[in-house]
Amino acid sequence: MFTRAIVRPPGSNFADGLTTVNLGVPDYQKALEQHEQYCAALTQAGLTLTRLAADTRFPDATFMEDVAVATPRGAILTHPGAPTRAGEVETIRATLSQYYGPLSMIDAPGTLEGGDVCNAGDGHFLIGISRRTNEEGARQLSAWLARLGYTSQCVDFRDRRSILHLTTGMTALGHHRLAVVPELADHPALRDYELVRTVPGEAYAANCLRVNDVVLVAAGFPTFEAYLQRLGYHTVAVEMSEFQKMDGGLTCLSLRF
């Protein structure tokens, strides 16, 4: 059960951030509107938001999930694999410390971004090995989770180049169920889960976000949303077009705990 989230709107230089896709330049005003819609959806799902100011020192700073991993028992600051994002970590330390006290941190040579971490439920975490998270970063996180009483498993998907972060292609829906793109569905680390696969043309929809009794879904993917509704989920569609242009999704726009 989530009760809080930390969010940060995109800055005026949002379009200068990192992206691996070629979907055009994001419209800044539209991005602000979509971010506000996203925040409203989190609030309606029962979360109290801590709203940080935009930070133009870091064009990708709106993607809050990547700089920390928060669990019910503790939080840890990450060490982003993208060098231009390294400075973002300290911008959240003071705020997150208000809720968790002194924070641990992933140390070099380990790299870890929160988008590669999925709380799969039942005290178990899936940790992606990716272009941004290396084996040492995953090892450090796994050891830290174990000290808190959690289990974890690595999901190495570096051979699946279309997927940037683990949660780009897979998110947890509860009930031992994962939303997943077909490219990840055959991964051995996922064999014990019920998989809700996206259909061709709707891969972006796999980055959905369950917040308590609601599943936020990216607008514009009706087949996936209808599938979730048939499974009994209450869905709320959120426009995400401008964040999609910058490799962003529903999970990465907030840090929830």
212: left (phi over 0), alpha (psi -120 to 50) or beta: left
DSSP percent split of the chain into helix, strand, coil, nearest 5: 35, 25, 40
Pairing between β-strand 214-218 and β-strand 209-211 as defined by DSSP bridges: antiparallel
208 is catalytic: no
Looking at residue 148, what DSSP letter applies? T
Say whether 252 is catalytic.
yes
The catalytic position among 154, 165, 187, 208 is: 165
In the three-class reduction of DSSP (H, G, I as helix; E, B as strand; rest coil), residue 102 is classed as coil
* Contact status, residue 131 vs residue 164, Cβ threshold 8 Å: yes
Q: Please, which residues bridge with residue 236 across strands?
A: 216
**Separation between Cα atoms, residue 101 and residue 219, nearest integer Å:** 37
Q: Show the beta-strand stretches assigned E in the chain.
A: 4-7, 48-51, 68-71, 74-77, 104-105, 117-121, 124-129, 151-156, 170-174, 177-180, 194-197, 209-211, 214-218, 234-238, 255-256
Point out the catalytic residue in the list 39, 118, 154, 252: 252
Q: Which residues are catalytic?
A: 165, 252
